[in-house]
Amino acid sequence: MTQIGLTVEKPETFRGDAVARGVFDDTDLSRLGVPGLTDQAKKLRFKGGAGESFFAFDRFGSPSKHLLLVGLGKRSEYGPAAARAAAATAARRLRERFASTALFALEAEAAGRRAPVVLSALAEGTLLGNRRFQKYVTDKERRFEGLSGISLRVARKSAVLQEALGLGKVLADATGYARELATEPANVLTPEFMAEEARKLARRHGFELKVLDEKACAKLGMGAYLAVARGSHHPPRFIHLRYRPKGAKFHIAVVGKGLTFDSGGISIKPADGMGAMKSDMSGSAAVMGAMAAIGALKPKVAVDAVMAMCENMPGGGAYRPGDILTSMSGKTIEVLNTDAEGRLTLADALCYVQRQKPDAVVDLATLTGACVVALGPDFSGAMGNDQPLLDAVLAAAKESGDDLWQLPLPAAYRKYIKTDVADVANMSRIRWGGAITAGLFLSTFVDEGRPWVHLDIAGPALRDDDGGDAHRAEGSGVGVRTLVHLVLSKAGGPRKA
Q: Which residues are catalytic?
A: 269, 343
Q: Is the peptide bond before 63 cis (omega within 30 degrees of 0)?
A: yes
The DSSP letter of residue 353 is H
Is residue 242 within a helix (H) or strand (E), and if so which, with residue range?
A: strand 237-243
Whole-angstrom distance, CA of residue 131 vs CA of residue 41? 28
Q: Give the residue among 383, 388, 389, 385 at the shortest CA–CA distance from 438.
A: 383
Distance of alpha carbon 254 from alpha carbon 349, whole angstroms: 10
- For 149, other C-beta atoms within 10 Å of its C-beta total 15
Bridge-based pairing of strands 251-262 and 379-384 is: unpaired
Q: Mind giving me the DSSP string for 261-292?
A: EE--TTSPPPSTTGGGGGGTTHHHHHHHHHHH
By DSSP bridging, strand 208-212 and strand 237-243 are antiparallel
Cβ contacts of 366 within 8 Å, gap of 6 or more? 257, 259, 279, 280, 282, 283, 342, 456, 457, 458, 461
- Contacts of residue 475, defined as CB under 8 A and 6 or more positions apart, other chains included, come to 178, 179, 180, 181, 182, 183, 279, 282, 285, 461, 462, 463
Determine how β-strand 379-384 pairs with β-strand 452-456: antiparallel
Give the Cα separation of 164 and 152 in Å (integer). 12
CA distance 110 to 122: 13
Rounded to whole angstroms, the Cα distance separating 267 from 314 reads 8
Residue 366 has what DSSP assignment? -
Residue 338 and residue 267 in contact, taking contact as beta carbons nearer than 8 Å: yes
